[in-house]
């Protein structure tokens, strides 16, 4: 039996700027995943640096923070059976130039950084990332409103 999971997702500034957020959200819903929390916001340096702290020593960290603060993002908590794997399959490979058509990164991304979306890679990461962006009351209010 499949496990109901939660995962975290971001529609990155490139996809928001290209007016692709609605199409990405529609594809999430069409996939059968439930959006249990959603917000659009503009990251500041502190929030971006905190979220990507795991990459702090990597050479691309500064560029990543600059990109993620370059425009609004849409943050979401998703829920469904095997949500982490299903969201990662829907996203496609990290490098958009290698992502097949039909995946979000293949259809909306342009390269390894401007790849339209982010998603958690494991249950522990999902829990940490969701709690970084949403408080419990934000998620509970939306879960209670689900049909």
Number of domains into which the chain is organized: 1
CA distances from residue 136 to 55, 60, 120, 142 in whole angstroms, order as listed = 26, 32, 18, 10
Per-residue pLDDT tens over the stretch 12-59:
999 999 999 999 999 999 999 999 999 999 999 999 999 999 999 999
Pick the catalytic residue from 118, 129, 130, 133: 118
- What pTM does this model have? 0.91
CATH number of the domain enclosing 47: 3.30.70.141
Instruction: Record the tokens describing residue 121, joined without a space.
Output: 């890679």
Q: What is the mean pLDDT of the chain?
A: 93
Range of the domain at 15: 4-145
Burial-class residue 145 by CB neighbours within 10 Å (0-12, 13-18, 19+).
exposed
Is-catalytic flag, 118? yes
Alpha-carbon gap, residue 25 to 107, rounded angstroms: 14
Q: Which of the four pLDDT bands, split at 50, 70 and 90, describes residue 112?
A: confident
Report the Cα–Cα distance between both ends of the chain, in Å, rounded: 22
Residue 118: per-residue pLDDT: 96
């Amino acid at each position: 039996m499949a496990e109901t999971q939660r995962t975290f997702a971001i529609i990155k500034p490139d996809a928001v700027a290209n007016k692709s957020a609605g199409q990405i959200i529609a594809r999430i819903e069409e996939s059968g995943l439930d959006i249990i929390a959603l917000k659009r916001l503009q990251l500041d340096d502190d929030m971006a640096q905190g979220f990507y702290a795991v990459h702090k020593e990597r050479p691309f960290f500064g560029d990543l923070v600059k990109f993620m603060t370059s425009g609004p993002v849409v943050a979401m908590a998703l829920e469904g059976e095997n949500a982490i794997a299903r969201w990662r399959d829907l996203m496609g490979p990290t490098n958009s130039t290698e992502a097949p058509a039909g995946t979000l990164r293949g259809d909306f991304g342009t390269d390894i950084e401007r790849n339209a979306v982010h998603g958690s890679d494991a249950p522990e990461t999902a829990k940490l990332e969701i709690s970084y962006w949403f408080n419990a009351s934000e998620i509970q209010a939306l879960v209670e409103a689900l049909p």
